[in-house]
């Protein structure tokens, strides 16, 4: 029996994780659930999974949750705030941590799980994009395990040699082929993109996800962040990570070997597959996802991405080439710009412009420790705010 802490349990990934957990009560129990503000949903999850601890964002939300749980006769301990997230991520009572908080808000708890030597199921790609080598080193130093939940990286993980040790050359690997759906605006006339609404941008053709990652998919910054994520997870240089548009999202990514073989992982687009894969690794468990019907799919389509249509993808490659804190700056600027777009403060085409301006303005330096990183993130956010109105 393994105990799991689900950080961000009310989000899209959190809900899918609990669906898989609920299918295997003999294997998994829940140690902690966390949510930022959705107290009602969190209370309902507590009622179903009876965790030891539940964490919310504020004292006020904690008081409301506490009242709801006690009214139901639950004894779940209620805590709040960023330190409580780190506490449940590193607690002795849990074996694995689903890192599914969105954005930089998930960095500290992901690092806490690494320092405590946990099995980390990493959905929160922004944490790795920001911290890069720092998180990889922390994982190694404390004998933690980092398993990718992002469907592409989980696919790559499944296509790699069993004894893969973060070296493409040792594994006989020529390159990694990261597939991308292209999002909702793959075929839309570029000159009309400025008038798209947040609701149009989050209407992803293949995946149902949180609002931030959905906008990232529309700009293809999501794929840019995933290129950086793949770099750190698999020790792959930028020029050996190729993005391939595959609008059907049937192949979730591929690994191309020097002997000419290309291994792919296929499946219906449902995050419960990579979640179940990482939770049970190296075993396999049922996830609730239907088997793929290849005859019904018939054909698979691919095309190369157009960087003029998707400037965010180029910005992410630029950040990866520049190294140091560039990726953290890119991520912070993107989070600010996406939120401003979702709040209808800026147009869709402004997102990449804001990020480009912040990257131009801010010198990047080495990422030495978490405090320096958080400081860089803060500065980049404030510069991004000032760029919104230009
Ligand atoms: P979501 O918006 O649906 O959920 C986010 C969760 O984080 C919620 O539970 C929310 O309460 C919590 N949260 C938000 N802000 C917080 C804060 N400041 N402090 C503490 N908790 C906070 O997002 P999602 O789609 O589930 O994505 C979560 C992460 O997984 C993201 O990093 C995303 O890039 C990654 N991811 C998601 C998918 C997907 O299919 N949804 C696929 C791959 C990767
Ligand atoms: Mg992905």
Domains of the chain with CATH codes:
2-148 (3.40.50.720), 162-267+303-387 (1.10.1740.10)
pTM of the model: 0.97
Residue nearest ligand 1's atom 9 by CA = 8
8 A C-beta contact, residue 53 and residue 77: yes
8 A C-beta contact, residue 157 and residue 274: no
pLDDT of residue 364: 87
pLDDT of residue 226: 98
Which residues are part of a known binding site for NADPH? 10-13, 124, 126, 210
What ipTM is given for this predicted complex? Answer: 0.99
Q: What is the Cβ-side half-sphere exposure of residue 285, based on CA atoms within 13 angstroms?
A: 22
Rounded to whole angstroms, how far apart are CA atoms 56 and 39?
8
pLDDT in tens, 264-297: 999 999 999 999 999 999 999 999 999 999 999 9
Of the ranges 158-162, 204-208, 234-238, which one carries the lowest mean pLDDT score?
204-208
8 A C-beta contact, residue 123 and residue 229: no
Q: Is the pLDDT of residue 390 over 80?
A: no
Residue from 78, 125, 116 nearest 97 by CA: 116
Answer whether 273 contacts ligand 1 (Cβ < 6 A). no
Give mean pLDDT, residues 227-251: 98
Which residues are part of a known binding site for 1-deoxy-D-xylulose 5-phosphate? 125, 151-152, 181, 204, 217, 222-223, 226
Which residues are part of a known binding site? 10-13, 124-126, 150-152, 181, 204, 210, 217, 222-223, 226
Residue 160 has φ and ψ, to the nearest 5°, of: -85, 160
Residues 6+ apart with CB under 8 A from 24: 285, 286
Residues 6+ apart with CB under 8 A from 56: 34, 35, 36, 37, 39, 42, 62, 65, 78, 79, 80
Q: Is the pLDDT of residue 33 over 90?
A: yes
Residue nearest ligand 1's atom 21 by CA = 36
Which atom of ligand 1 is found nearest the CA of 9? 9
pLDDT of residue 160: 98
Contacts 24+ apart (CB under 8 A), 200-204: 201/341, 201/348
User: In the predicted model, what is the mean pLDDT of the chain?
Assistant: 97
Residue ranges in 189-310 assigned as alpha helix (H): 198-202, 211-219, 221-234, 272-280, 294-297
pLDDT of residue 115: 98
The 3-state DSSP class for residue 369 equals: coil
In the block, tokens 């961000």 appear at 8
**What's the sign of the alpha-carbon dihedral 100, 101, 102, 104?**
negative
* Residue 231 structure tokens: 């770099």
């Amino acid at each position: 029996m393994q105990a799991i802490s689900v950080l961000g349990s009310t989000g899209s990934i959190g809900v899918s994780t609990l669906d898989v957990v609920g299918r295997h009560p003999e294997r998994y129990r829940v140690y902690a659930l966390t949510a930022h503000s959705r107290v009602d949903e969190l209370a309902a999850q507590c009622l179903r999974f009876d965790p030891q601890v539940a964490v919310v964002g504020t004292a006020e939300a904690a008081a409301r949750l506490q009242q709801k749980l006690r009214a139901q006769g639950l004894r779940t301990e209620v805590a709040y705030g960023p330190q409580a997230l780190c506490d449940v991520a590193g607690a002795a009572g849990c074996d694995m941590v689903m890192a599914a908080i969105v954005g930089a808000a998930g960095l500290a708890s992901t690092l806490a799980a690494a320092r405590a030597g946990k099995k980390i199921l990493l959905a929160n790609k922004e944490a790795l994009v920001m911290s890069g080598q720092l998180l990889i080193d922390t994982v190694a130093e404390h004998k933690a395990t980092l398993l990718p939940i992002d469907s592409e990286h989980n696919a790559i993980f499944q296509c790699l040699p069993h004894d893969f040790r973060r070296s493409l050359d040792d594994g006989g690997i020529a390159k990694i082929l990261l597939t991308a759906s292209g999002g909702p605006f793959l075929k839309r006339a570029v000159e009309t993109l400025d008038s798209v609404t947040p609701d149009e941008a989050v209407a992803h053709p293949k995946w149902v996800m949180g609002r931030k990652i959905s906008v990232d998919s529309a700009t293809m910054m999501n794929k840019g962040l995933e290129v950086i994520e793949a770099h750190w997870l698999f020790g792959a240089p930028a020029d050996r990570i190729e993005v391939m548009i595959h609008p059907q999202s049937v192949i979730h990514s591929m690994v191309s070997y020097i002997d000419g073989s290309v291994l792919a992982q296929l499946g219906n687009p449902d995050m419960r597959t990579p979640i179940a894969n990482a939770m049970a690794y190296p075993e396999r468990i049922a996830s609730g996802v239907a088997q793929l019907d290849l005859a019904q799919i018939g054909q698979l389509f691919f095309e190369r991405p157009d960087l003029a249509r998707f400037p965010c993808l180029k910005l992410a490659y630029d950040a990866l080439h520049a190294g140091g804190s560039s990726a953290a700056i890119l991520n912070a600027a993107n989070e600010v710009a996406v939120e401003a777009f979702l709040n209808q403060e800026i147009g869709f085409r402004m997102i990449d412009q804001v990020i480009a301006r912040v990257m131009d303005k801010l010198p990047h330096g080495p990422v030495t420790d978490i405090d320096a990183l958080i400081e860089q993130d803060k500065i980049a956010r404030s510069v991004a705010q000032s760029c919104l109105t230009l």
